[in-house]
Amino acid sequence: MNAPARRRGRPPATESTAGDTRARIMRAARDLFAEKGFHGTGVAEIGDRADVQRGALYYHIGSKEELLWQILHDYIQLILVDAERIVAADDDPITKLRSLIHSYVGLIIEHRREVAIQLRDVTALTGERGAQLQELRDQVQHRWQRVIDDGHAAGLLRTDDHVITNSVLGMLNSVTLWYRPHGEHSPAEIADLLATTFLDGVATTTDTHTKG
């Protein structure tokens, strides 16, 4: 009996194989965007780093912009999900603010490459993708603002001005610029210091030094 004729074209990939390839491409793109910037990274470089041929690369990702979108979307979604969990908890606003700061600092440090990409290259996303990402970022800020509004309404915070919300988020995002894995402070200690600094400025009570 003759052996069956060999089919031409792409061999059928299993779902797990396709998933593994896409994950490898995502990691390569994330690392290169963090190292060289979105505009400084070529598609061929991503393929080389991921050990994927260019044809297969486009098959899995569509475009370099789609990779940028997916990297930033996945990161901000993590931030949003944890913020929603904290906001929904049965805690007072000061405790929630401490928890939000600890969550944010922890995720920023864990995903500092994604944060670096966001700070430098988020404006590379335009049109529908840019709008979708901005909506996610706005949702994160709205969760924070809700807790600050509740704290002000309860007499625990001096103000609920949006400037405060924007400023604390900006301060926390900057952690990625100076954090070193083998530095003097752990992520939890950094979060404690930043939470106390923030609450000392806006809380109406003096009991702001309890660690979360």
What CATH number corresponds to the domain at position 52? Answer: 1.10.10.60
Residues 119 and 47 in one domain: no
Identify whether residues 142 and 57 lie together within a single domain: no
CB atoms within 10 A of CB 199: 22
The boundaries of the domain holding residue 159 are 65-202
Same domain, 118 and 41: no
Q: Residue 211: its pLDDT value, please?
A: 45
How much is the pLDDT for 59?
78
Query: Which candidate, 45, 34, 21, places its Cα nearest to that of 71?
Result: 34
| Whether residue 78 sits in one domain with residue 23 | no
If the chain, 212 residues long, is cut into consecutive pieces of 10 residues, what is the mean pLDDT of each piece?
40 58 92 96 92 80 90 96 97 96 96 93 93 95 97 94 93 90 91 93 67 46
Q: Which of 103, 22, 96, 19 is nearest to 57 (CA)?
A: 22
Instruction: Name every residue whose Cβ is closer than 8 Å to that of residue 80 and which is 6 or more positions away in sequence.
Output: 136, 139, 140, 143
- Helix or strand or coil: residue 203? strand
We report the CATH number of the domain holding residue 83 as 1.10.357.10
Question: Does residue 129 lie in a domain region?
Answer: yes
With vertex at residue 187, the alpha carbon angle to CA 168 and CA 94, rounded to the nearest 5 degrees, is 45
- Tokens representing 35 are 């190292």
Same domain, 88 and 182: yes
